[in-house]
Structure 1
Amino acid sequence: MTLQDKLKNLPETPGIYLMKDTHGAIIYVGKAKNLKRRVRSYFQKNQQHTKKVQRMIFNIADLEIRPVDTELDALLLECRLIQEIHPHYNRIMNYYQNYCYVDFTKTGPILTDIPTKTSLGPFRQYKKLPQILALLTENYLLPNVNNVTKKMILQQLPTVEQTPLSERLKNCQQFFAGKKTNLFNLLNARIAYSAKQQNFEHAQLIKEQLELCQHFYHYLLQRNEFCQKKQLTLKLPLGDDREKIYFIAYGVIVDTQIKKSSPAVTFPDKKFSPVILQKADVDPLDILRSYYARYH
């Protein structure tokens, strides 16, 4: 069957599509709520296509589709295939090997690819983590902070060094664990100090640092809360009188059922335990967590 024949016979169902080049290599994996509408959009004249998409379309010689029950199934399958195949034109979810952990030494937090018993993670924000670690080192005046920064911090937070180093290190660990920390109090105190000195440019800089840490911390809180839930159910309609039910335990889909719509749902009578999160698990977990929050 030619590519044109396949485009004419696409189903209007959720699924994933695999774009292939002349050698049969998969160069892109995508998901769709409606395969027919989504896949055909690539081959229609569209001023919105980026140069990258235009290059990809030029190299498409064949395609394969895999229909699934729901958009969530498509999202999860897309993620798994991107991680397995590493298609050239996929960027998101294609670099999970770069996700890293935060470990803790006597002088402060460090990034590591190989976790130890004390490591926290893995975290997908590997490009932002060095900046976050630097902010923690500065605000808690950890041993690795340089003298110039230390003098500036002591002007803004004159009492921070009076706190024992062990307590400051604990606050760093609490931050990455998504637990109670005083980091945000320190940053707000620095913002207030700079504003009082009418150094508004510096106050704005610290405010941006605060927002970066808050965004990361809020993500951790949501992820931790989701992973601690022993029994969650998510129902998604299938377009008729049926629905697909996802049974979720500790952030993982442990079972699914397709049945007629009914308010009564019985969770599988099994014991489920928390799992140790690996790098490849982060993206599927985030997909499931976000989807549950949006549609539950």
Structure 2
Amino acid sequence: MKKKLQVTLELLPEVPGVYIFLNKEREILYIGKAKNLQKRVNTYFHKTTQDRPRIIQMLPLIDDVEIKETNNEIEALILESVLIKKYKPPYNTELKDDKSYAWLYINVKDDFPTVKIVRTFKKGEYSEGKLFGPYPSGVLIRRVYSYLRRLYPFCTCKNRDCKSSLYYHIGLCPGPYAGAISKEEYRENIDNIIGILSGRKKNHIQLLQKQMEEYSKEENYEKAAQLRDRIEDLKYISQNIDFTYYDRIELYESRREKVLRLSFQQLGLELGIKDLRRIECYDISNIQGKHAYGSMVVATDGKINRSKYRVFKIRESNSPNDFEMMKEVLKRRFKNSEESPQLILIDGGKGHVSSASKVIPSGITVMGISEKKSSNLLDTFWISREKEISKIDIKNPKILINLRDEAHRFALSFFRKQSIKQLKQSELDNIKGVGSKRKKALLEVFRNVDEIKKASFENIYEVIKNKTVVNNIKEYFSNPSHQ
């Protein structure tokens, strides 16, 4: 695998979204969706998980991966469909169309509104009412439709003839045209349905959960399981979607970018930074001061900018001193001519901010974030102003918390990979007669040091063809301290 691609895969976030595989010419090969981008995309590059011929054929052509993060899994499914329809990638065998998704429509202007499941329509066709969705599962939407009708009956009778309708006689139609329900009572049913579909479902779900617990106490597990499934359906179908049915992908992306830029502007106003365009967040990862690394993650105009991430191997500090290690990282960062940030966020408290402020150029605001010590506490923010370090309340801390978490994830991820790599490399380097060529040959066949430890004399000899060196390898790994 190419180094650039390997680095990209390591930096993928563990969030819902859409991934796009590109070739050298930046042509789109394949588009997919994921609940967890990092886990899903990395599975493509594990040989044991691939059994689809088209995907196996595509893998050598992949030069880069682009991602589009979404708020939830439903949004990822819909965005995937929009992108596939637009670009028609050659390795997507099933190009989804609008029939893959469904909406619930309520014409609120009718005297007695009804609820419909709709699948295809033109822009503006249902503009007079309320449209909820789209929802990617036809089975789920039919199940919820039936549940809503049992809970809050509504009329679907043709020709306004309720008395001849089967639904009227089994209680699923309240009979508005037969005089069995008033307009106000019928409207209340519809308003309750709209409330559930709009996300105002908390009280209703709490009621269902209470009923489910009562059934469990009575050991009526079948009824309890039905209510459990109903609760999950309602939670799923009322997730907020960040774009509506008639949007194009360009509108969706521009809207998200606008929201992110606005959140940056609001944070800048709150901190007194006139033009906040770039934030850098720093974190240190180490074990007792050894194998220590500092990480830098960057956000520009509200968006995570992974191309600007950097890792600093700690050179000067040999003791577990976070303050000194952070100062070293910041000194090295500001030696280069890269664009300066308007705000620096340190993963740490008052002492970290004080120490960092001593080496950061003037004109850059410095903040720290202390992680909450229990689930009942909030993260604490610190800021350096006129050489004084004080606590500060942030109205919308989500950007800063996300950056801190991303810096922490990136530092630990890189640290783990490097530590494992160094450990396994050093074991082979300590064996007499195993140079770089033999080491490479062994790892190509056995993949890792653990496999070499388990291998027989004959199997190792097949690779390096030298009995003396094979004996050295077997003797080395027979030592209990090397096992």
- Pick the aligned partner of 2:151 from 139, 145, 162: 139
Offset at residue 182 of structure 1 (A): 6.0
Q: Aligned letter for 1:65?
A: D
- The 2-side partners of 1:198 and 1:245 are apart by 55
Which of 166, 169, 180 in structure 1 is aligned with 2:187?
166
Q: What stretches of structure 2 of length at least 5 have no aligned partner?
A: 10-19, 71-75, 157-165, 173-180, 245-254, 268-278, 283-293, 304-338, 346-364, 367-397, 404-483
2:63 partner SS = strand
C-alpha deviations, 1:148-194, integer Å up to 9, x for none? 8639xxxxxxxxx8981110111111222223676436745865886
Change (3 A) 1:220 1:71: closer
CA distance in 2, matches of 1:91, 1:198: 47
Q: 5 Å matches for 1:7-46? A: 7-8=1-2, 10-14=4-8, 16-18=20-22, 28-29=30-31, 42=45, 46=47
Rate the CA distance shift 1:61–1:140 in 2: closer, same or farther, 3 A.
closer
Q: Is 1:220 aligned to residue 240 of structure 2?
A: yes
Deviation at 1:109, TM superposition (A): 1.8
- Which residue pairs with 1:60 in the alignment? 58
Counterpart of 1:116 in structure 2 is 127
Q: For the Cα contact (< 8 Å) 2:5–2:63, is it kept in 1?
A: no
| Contact 1:237/1:243, CA 8 A, preserved across alignment | yes
Q: Residue 3 of structure 1 corresponds to which residue in structure 2?
A: none
**What's the CA shift for 1:26?**
5.8
Instruction: Report the CA distance between 1:60 and its aligned residue.
Output: 3.1
Return the match for 1:129 from 107, 118, 141: 141
Q: Is the 8 A contact 1:101 1:122 kept in 2?
A: yes
The whole-number CA distance in structure 2 between the counterparts of 1:148 and 1:64 is: 60
* Pairing partner for 1:295 from 398, 402, 413: 402
- In the TM superposition, what is the alpha-carbon distance from 1:8 to its structure 2 partner? 4.7
Query: Could you report, residue by residue, the CA deviation over 1:254-284 in whole angstroms, capped at 9, with x for unpaired residues?
Result: xxxx75353559xxxxxxxxxxxxxxxxxxx
> Is the contact made by 1:139 and 1:187 (CA closer than 8 Å) also made in structure 2?
no
2:302 corresponds to which of 239, 247, 260: 247
Distance change in 2, residues 1:197/1:11 (3 Å): closer
In structure 2, what is the equivalent of residue 253 of structure 1?
Answer: none
Q: Which amino acid aligns with 2:344?
A: S
Q: Could you report, residue by residue, the CA deviation over 1:208-229 in whole angstroms, capped at 9, with x for unpaired residues?
A: 1122213333x239999x98x7
- The one-letter code matched in structure 1 to 2:298 is E
Does the 8 A contact of 1:101 with 1:111 survive in 2? yes
3-state SS of paired residue (1:14): helix
Larger radius of gyration: 2
The alpha-carbon deviation at position 136 of structure 1 amounts to 0.4
Q: Distance in 1 between matches of 2:134 and 2:402?
A: 25
Secondary structure of the structure 2 residue equivalent to 1:56 = helix
Code of the aligned partner of 1:87: P
Q: Higher RCO, 1 or 2 (CA under 8 Å, sep at least 6)?
A: 1
Maintained 8 Å contact 1:174/1:181: no
Q: Go from structure 1 to structure 2 and tell me whether the alpha carbon gap of 1:139 and 1:197 turns closer, same or farther (over 3 Å shift).
A: farther
CA 208–223 in structure 1, closer or farther in 2 if over 3 Å, else same = farther
Distance 1:104 1:293, change over 3 A: farther
CA 1:138/1:292 → structure 2, altered by over 3 Å: closer, same or farther?
farther
Query: How far off is 1:82 after superposition?
Result: 3.8
Q: 1:72 to 1:210 in 2, by over 3 A?
A: closer
Q: Verify the 8 A CA contact 1:104 1:119 in the aligned structure 2.
A: yes
**Structure-2 residue corresponding to 1:157:** none
Amino acid at match of 1:171: N
Q: Distance in 2 between matches of 1:139 and 1:59?
A: 51
Q: TM-score, normalised by structure 2?
A: 0.35
Matching residue's letter, 2:402: Y
Partner of residue 104 from structure 2, selected from 67, 81, 102: 102
Aligned mates of 1:124, 1:71 — CA distance in 2: 19
Specify the SS of the correspondent of 1:101.
strand
- What CA distance in whole angstroms lies between the structure 1 residues aligned with 2:132 and 2:193? 14
Q: Which runs of 5+ in 1 are unaligned?
A: 1-6, 152-160, 249-257, 266-290
Query: Normalising to structure 1: TM-score of the pair?
Result: 0.52
CA distance in 2, matches of 1:71, 1:221: 15
CA RMSD of aligned residues (A): 5.5
Would the aligned equivalents of 2:22 and 2:65 in 1 still touch at CA under 8 Å? no
Q: Deviations over 1:220-241 (max 9, x none)?
A: 39999x98x7932496769976
Instruction: Report how far residue 117 of structure 1 moved.
Output: 3.5
Answer yes or no: is the 8 Å Cα contact 2:21–2:28 preserved in 1.
no
Residue identity over aligned pairs, in percent, reads 15
